A and B are shown apart, each in its own frame.
Chain A
Amino acid sequence: MPQVKIIAKNFMDMVSSLPAMKLDKLYENAFICEAILRSLPPLAKKYVLQTLYIDVPITAKSMEEWVLPDGSSKHRVAIDRLIQLRIFTETVDRRRETTYRIHPTFQTNLQKLVTLGEVLPREPMSSDITVRLPSLEDLEVYALAQWECFLLQLINSAQAERPLNISPSMMKVFQRGLLSQREKEAPRLTESGFQFLLMDTNAQLWYIIREYISNSEERGVDPADLISFLLELSFHVTGKAYNSNTLTEIQRSLIKDLTDLGLVKLQQGRKESWFIPTKLATNLSVSLTDSSARKQGFVVVETNFRLYAYSSSKLHSEVLRLFSRIEYQLPNLIVGAITKESLYNAFENGIAAEQIITFLQQNAHPRVAERIPSVPENVTDQIRLWESDLNRVEMSPAHYYDEFPSRDVFEAACDYAREWNGLLWEDSKSMRIVVKAEIHSHMREHLRRQK
């Protein structure tokens, strides 16, 4: 899905758009350096590694010599990205030679990582204090349930059971752009709201987190602090307990919000409290690269337009309801049909046929995912056809003229409109024409002159 990439990239853009001073401060944290290194395009990663132990500026010419002619565009992209993130600084000297220099803090941090190997941001607590740690499966179920609950609440579904302690004002921020709020009317999902629901979990998470970060300044939290904490969190080990005492005051308040999103689970012992990162948190920095999430699909589409979804999730059924007619629901199976009416409904809400098709393909059940195509061709074709059916009529603003005084005036007007390439329709019998709105003023001038 194209949106996934846009959003993931946007986050790095957000990082790169931070003021230089803040970016320098971010690079003091080794985990951020690591996360940022991993988010780079492959070639850029390689350049960083190659220049890791080079202390003198490297000329642009010598870097270009590493690249084959085919790769020059990739080379450009990689260098641009590095400069954008201030990992490389570009200087042009008197002899007009461009040289690059790697960011010194970034360099030393990576050198440390290379020589010492990966270290954990925090020591996990020993297992004799934390007795009842959830198993990894339980934790994943918990995280997904929490996330689903959040999403259901986000779309104001009546299905949401327990209220979260995210403040209503915060929720409003998240809903901005996803829901349209008209007076006296129940809020409706907007076009981007529907598209949001069709994205995969990581992309959704990043969208929410981006909103959360861009809103952080209003709440008196430095966005750089927030970014560094989130990236740091992604290097913790899933399912291990970490003492809450190690967190700063700001982080402790942040972690409460993150609990609601399902990123961490908080537990209270007799004396101490601790937090356990879930898979959602540790996957944060992974999803920054272009690789999309690799989760198991659940949808089987048959050639007769019937759709079987092996899922017990309410959210899944809500999403499927966006473009199909749900016929019945068993404990672990949702059965529906893709019909013309259900699709028209989706198109009206601003969902594109391509989005529906990619959703079906990306979430294909492993049994059908191996097949090519994973969604039957007749179904995908029909979805596209039904969409193009709606687009048969093209609208363009126009002006309508009638009651011409004479046929000469009428014909002159027609010729004039043709000259401007603006004649849309003419009826010479009853002397009526329709012209494009752009040339209306010229047309009026022309007719006035005729008089």
Chain B
Amino acid sequence: MASAPSKLYADDVSLLVVLLDTNPFFWSSFSLPFSKFLSHVLSFLNSILLLNQFNQVVVIATGCNSCDYIYDSSSATNTDAESGRMPALCSDLLRKLDEFVTRDQHLGEKDSLGPPTSSLLSGSLSMALCYIQKVFRSGPLHPQPRILCLQGSTDGPEQYVAIMNAIFSAQRSMVPIDSCFMGSNNSAFLQQASYITGGVYQKPQQLDGLFQYLSTVFATDLHSRTFLRLPKSVGVDFRASCFCHKRTIDMGYICSVCLSIFCKHHKKCSTCGSVFGQPQSDVPSASNVK
């Protein structure tokens, strides 16, 4: 139903949902200071809004313990125009980000489990998809949505199932997930996310020129992507995590009923409850998991 009337919108109107990694454990040990990173990102957001009057930007902060919306260009316009000379986008976003980081830290103190090193990517992905669903249902006229993950911290294997579910629901609703990964090793989750949803995965080589990467690759609207040569993923790490210990594994056991993955043999599937027989020790029943 949406295809015919949405032609009324110009081809390149986009809704960009940016997932911002605010993991303090990552940023404190990283070569690029968070403040510099933010200034690149703010310029990038400005340039997206500059390109088209109808372009919309939503920023979601991904913390260690929580995630939250910190900026929405559709609701934030001109609220701050009177208070000062600082442009609305920067002051608004920085204030909310500040509040978020303190809140996130407090949440972390309550948990006595020790510092987690990964960010809650699954949470922010789900929030982004919820927002996009809301936009889809707002009427026949809506901008073309896409998600951009600015991620630095390593994958949290315990989020494997949640992230995979988010990826598949993004694929179903035709929302590409772009990922710009700044950490040292490639992120298998984001590689898979971009591969499955048709987005772009890139790992910038020179972080000083982050803005150039962002504006060259990730500012491309979905319409122009059909004409442009964008970076292609060379190899994607398709390894899965097991459901029992959340470890990334090369080989494992798969439930023949519900396709849950386990790293060692169980008597009963923890997901669907099917009862397994004994594995034959001489014939390896472990199958390659893709």
Count class of interface residues, chain B: 35 or more
Could you list some 22 contacts between A and B, CB below 8 A?
Answer: A34-B50, A37-B51, A38-B50, A45-B51, A45-B52, A46-B224, A49-B219, A50-B216, A52-B47, A71-B226, A116-B46, A116-B87, A117-B46, A117-B49, A118-B49, A237-B81, A285-B53, A286-B53, A291-B10, A294-B141, A369-B5, A370-B140
Q: Which chain A residue has the least Cβ–Cβ distance from B86?
A: A117
B52: A residues at CB distance < 8 A = 38, 45, 289
- Contact residues of B with A, CB < 8 Å? 1, 4-5, 8-13, 42-43, 46-47, 49-54, 78, 81-82, 87-90, 140-141, 211-212, 215-216, 219-221, 223-224, 226-229
Q: Which chain A residue has the least Cβ–Cβ distance from B223?
A: A42
Q: Which chain B residue has the least Cβ–Cβ distance from A234?
A: B53
From B43, B219, B227, A67 is in contact (CB under 8 Å) with B227
A49: B residues at CB distance < 8 A = 47, 51, 215, 219
How many angstroms between the C-alpha atoms of A292 and B8 in the bound complex? 6
From B1, B4, B43, B46, A118 is in contact (CB under 8 Å) with B46
From B89, B211, B215, B216, A117 is in contact (CB under 8 Å) with B89
8 Å CB contacts to B: which residues of A4-52?
Answer: 34, 37-38, 42-43, 45-46, 49-50, 52
How many angstroms between the C-alpha atoms of A116 and B221 in the bound complex? 23
Is B89 within 8 A of A290, CB to CB?
Answer: no
Tell me, rounded to whole Å, the shortest Cβ–Cβ distance linking B143 to chain A: 11
* A37-B215 contact given A68-B229, A290-B10, CB 8 Å threshold: no
Tell me, rounded to whole Å, the shortest Cβ–Cβ distance linking B258 to chain A: 40
* A74-B5 contact given A53-B211, A117-B87, CB 8 Å threshold: no
Q: Which chain A residue has the least Cβ–Cβ distance from B85?
A: A119
- Contact residues of A with B, CB < 8 Å? 34, 37-38, 42-43, 45-46, 49-50, 52-53, 65-68, 70-71, 74-75, 110, 113-120, 124, 126, 237, 285-286, 289-292, 294, 369-370, 372
From B1, B216, B228, A71 is in contact (CB under 8 Å) with B228
Is A38 within 8 A of B215, CB to CB?
Answer: no
Q: Taking A75-B227, A110-B50 as given, write out 18 further A-B residue pairs in contact, using a Cβ cutoff of 8 Å, ordered by the A residue number.
A: A38-B51, A43-B227, A45-B51, A49-B51, A49-B215, A50-B212, A50-B215, A65-B229, A66-B229, A68-B228, A70-B226, A70-B227, A114-B46, A117-B42, A118-B46, A118-B49, A118-B87, A291-B54
Q: Which chain A residue has the least Cβ–Cβ distance from B209?
A: A53
A114: B residues at CB distance < 8 A = 43, 46-47, 50
Q: Which chain B residue has the least Cβ–Cβ distance from A54?
A: B212
How many angstroms between the C-alpha atoms of A369 and B88 in the bound complex? 37
How many angstroms between the C-alpha atoms of A126 and B227 in the bound complex? 48
How many angstroms between the C-alpha atoms of A38 and B47 in the bound complex? 11
Max count, chain A CB within 10 A of own CB: residue among B89, B219, B224: B224
* A37-B228 contact given A42-B12, A45-B12, A116-B87, CB 8 Å threshold: no
How many angstroms between the C-alpha atoms of A235 and B178 in the bound complex? 31
A37: B residues at CB distance < 8 A = 50-51
How many angstroms between the C-alpha atoms of A116 and B47 in the bound complex? 10
Is A67 within 8 A of B229, CB to CB?
Answer: yes
Is A291 within 8 A of B8, CB to CB?
Answer: yes
Tell me, rounded to whole Å, the shortest Cβ–Cβ distance linking A200 to chain B: 11
Q: Which chain B residue has the least Cβ–Cβ distance from A115?
A: B43
A67: B residues at CB distance < 8 A = 227-229
* A66-B215 contact given A114-B47, A237-B78, CB 8 Å threshold: no
B1: A residues at CB distance < 8 A = 370
Across the A-B interface, the 8 shortest Cβ-Cβ residue pairs: A71-B227, A117-B87, A42-B12, A291-B10, A114-B47, A117-B46, A49-B215, A117-B89
B82: A residues at CB distance < 8 A = 124, 126
A65: B residues at CB distance < 8 A = 229
How many angstroms between the C-alpha atoms of A67 and B10 in the bound complex? 21
How many angstroms between the C-alpha atoms of A422 and B12 in the bound complex? 53
Tell me, rounded to whole Å, the shortest Cβ–Cβ distance linking A442 to chain B: 53
Is B9 within 8 A of A291, CB to CB?
Answer: yes
B226: A residues at CB distance < 8 A = 68, 70-71
* A117-B53 contact given A52-B215, A67-B228, CB 8 Å threshold: no
Tell me, rounded to whole Å, the shortest Cβ–Cβ distance linking B233 to chain A: 17
Is A372 within 8 A of B227, CB to CB?
Answer: no
How many angstroms between the C-alpha atoms of A75 and B224 in the bound complex? 10
Is B9 within 8 A of A113, CB to CB?
Answer: no
How many angstroms between the C-alpha atoms of A115 and B5 in the bound complex? 35
How many angstroms between the C-alpha atoms of A241 and B43 in the bound complex? 29
How many angstroms between the C-alpha atoms of A43 and B12 in the bound complex? 9
Is A68 within 8 A of B51, CB to CB?
Answer: no
How many angstroms between the C-alpha atoms of A369 and B139 in the bound complex? 13
How many angstroms between the C-alpha atoms of A70 and B228 in the bound complex? 9
Is B227 within 8 A of A113, CB to CB?
Answer: no
A74: B residues at CB distance < 8 A = 227
Tell me, rounded to whole Å, the shortest Cβ–Cβ distance linking A393 to chain B: 38
